[in-house]
Amino acid sequence: MLEQKLNDLSLLKHAGFINGQWINDKNGKTFEVFNPAVGEVIANVADLGAKETLHAIEAAQAAFEKWKVMPAKQRSSLLRRWFDLVIENQEDLALIMTFEQGKVISESRGEVVYGASYIEWFAEEAKRIYGDVLPNTTADRRSLVIKQPVGVVGAITPWNFPNAMITRKVAPALAAGCTIVLKPASETPLSALALAQLADRAGIPAGVFNVVVGTDAKAIGAELTSNPTVKKITFTGSTVVGKLLMEQSAKTVKKTSMELGGNAPVLIFEDADLDKAIEGALVAKFRNAGQTCICANRILVQDSIYEEFISRFTARVSEFVLGDGVSSESTMGPLITRKAVAGVVSLVNDAMSQGAKICIGGSVADNGDYFFQPTVLRDMNTSMRLAKEEVFGPVAPVFKFSTEKEAVAMANDTEFGLAAYMYTKDHSRIWRVGEALEYGMVGINETAISSEMIPFGGVKESGQGREGSKYGLEDYLEIKYLCLGDI
């Protein structure tokens, strides 16, 4: 049981967090949270809806009036205290994450630190929101530019990174002087509530950070997007849902930032360091059981090294150990739901029906209904669904290319443009291909590209806006021009 493993039971919350209070549904309605590794219920959480969302928005607006004028250094200190508490409670936060999401405990520990890094970074950036003095247009005027917080922010986050996807939205919002209403995924609400508990413990005022938990995502999202008090929507999730939220937000002309679907290619050229390329592709493909938005969705290998890559890559994949994430022996956990497993099965079957061959894996594992075997597919072609659709699972489809031009064309043949990777020792090719790839982020001889200090985000239908870095703060600020006359 999760409760028996935690050092601090107060981090395990089962209610929404609105205006500094833990809120349950007035009729006692709850929803179940499952541990996908064992298929058991680990918590019953308050099932809130549109009414509670409106309450949270009103609380956030009231808190905004004081939070926005709080000195930046004071906001920074509160965020820094929140960061310290997250680090102090790393093990409990990691356990909560592994129990509700399924990833192995080492990955959960890493995510807690990664998520905390955004709080630390934006705590520092809160003190560096600078304006400008512009050149005079006439002798008797002065032109100034200041930056002010957008206002109340509505945030909707996914289940695959239930800690970090929250902190990289909440931290910049609070640093900028905004207040926020968060709707976490119903599959993984416990991590969000634990973060809210620590934020409250850090002294962040009531109403500044609110969490609405519930299964009626449509109703909660509709309130966030239609309410004119909410000035910005930030979302991480599917492109389909992102488009809907943008459409709904357009009616009140809200600012939006969207981190949507991906179809990341890994281009491995014949001059690559194959040892590094194999290790990089393994990390990019199989981290979190393949459930990441910047996952290696297509591995494109030059024909002259194709067979060697397949052989060595498959051998490394055979070393993975499926199991419950809390076990130190497990190197890969389950998928999030049975529906997710069924989606992976469908994509693999489609590829096989069109000539793909299984090098390893290819089916549901013996560990349980939520587990899918680490899989490598070869002899892929671009008519298969795996060439076009994002697979959120441990399936590595390997495609063959002959020329650099062909590789770039294959990589860009998608409506998505979040992340891409390539391996080569040719510095001329690095520039040519790096500039030609239609992606917001390109890893060159590296797949571990994310950190709090870089601008994370995509182009095309992978979204808009950036998270992390100095650019990530801009999405929560408005620019105001002041013209001083009669000087």
Tell me the β-bridge partners of 152.
Answer: 179, 230
Q: Are residues 7 and 129 in the same domain?
A: yes
- Annotated catalytic residue within 259, 452, 461, 474: 259
Residue 314 lies in a domain: yes
249-281: pLDDT as tens digits = 999 999 999 999 999 999 999 999 999 999 999
Crossing angle between the packed helical segments 164-176 and 189-201, to the nearest 10 degrees: 40
Let me know whether 228 and 327 are in one domain.
no
- The SS3 assignment for 211 reads strand
Q: Encode pLDDT of 352-372 as tens digits.
A: 999 999 999 999 999 989 999
Instruction: Judge whether 251 lies within some domain.
Output: yes
| Pairing relationship of beta strands 441-444 and 296-302 according to DSSP bridges | unpaired
Residue 54 reports pLDDT greater than 90: yes
Return the residue matching tokens 């089916």: 363
Model confidence pLDDT, tens digit, residues 219-244: 999 999 999 999 999 999 999 999 99
Same domain, 244 and 269: no
DSSP 332: B
Residue 211 shares a structural domain with residue 106 = yes
User: What is residue 1's predicted lDDT score, i.e. its pLDDT?
Assistant: 84
Domain tally, the chain? 2
Same domain, 246 and 146: yes
**Known active-site residue 259:** yes
The verdict on 88 and 162 lying in the same domain is yes
146-170 tens-digit pLDDT: 999 999 999 999 999 999 999 999 9
pLDDT above 70 covers what percent of the chain?
A: 100
The answer as to whether 487 is a domain residue is no
Same domain, 270 and 315: yes
Can you tell me the distance from the alpha carbon of 347 to that of 345, in angstroms, rounded to the nearest whole number?
6
Burial class (CB in 10 A: 0-12, 13-18, 19+), 383: exposed
Q: What separation, in Å, do the N-terminal and C-terminal C-alpha atoms of the chain show?
A: 70
Same domain? 366 vs 320: yes
Is 0.85 topped by the overall pTM? Answer: yes
CATH number at residue 278: 3.40.309.10
Give residue 317's domain range.
264-413+419-451
Q: How confident is the model at residue 37 (pLDDT cuts 50, 70, 90)?
A: very high
Helix axes 189-201, 72-88, angle to 10 degrees: 120
User: Does 62 fall in a domain?
Assistant: yes
334 shares a domain with 241: no
Structure tokens at 453: 């200090």
Residue 9 lies in a domain: yes
Q: Based on the domain organization, do 343 and 230 belong to the same domain?
A: no
268 and 257, same domain (yes or no): no
pLDDT tens for 383-428 read: 999 999 999 999 999 999 999 999 999 999 999 999 999 999 999 9
For helices 306-317 and 274-286, the axis angle rounded to 10 degrees is: 50
The domain that contains 35 carries what CATH number?
Answer: 3.40.605.10
Question: Same structural domain for residues 60 and 103?
Answer: yes
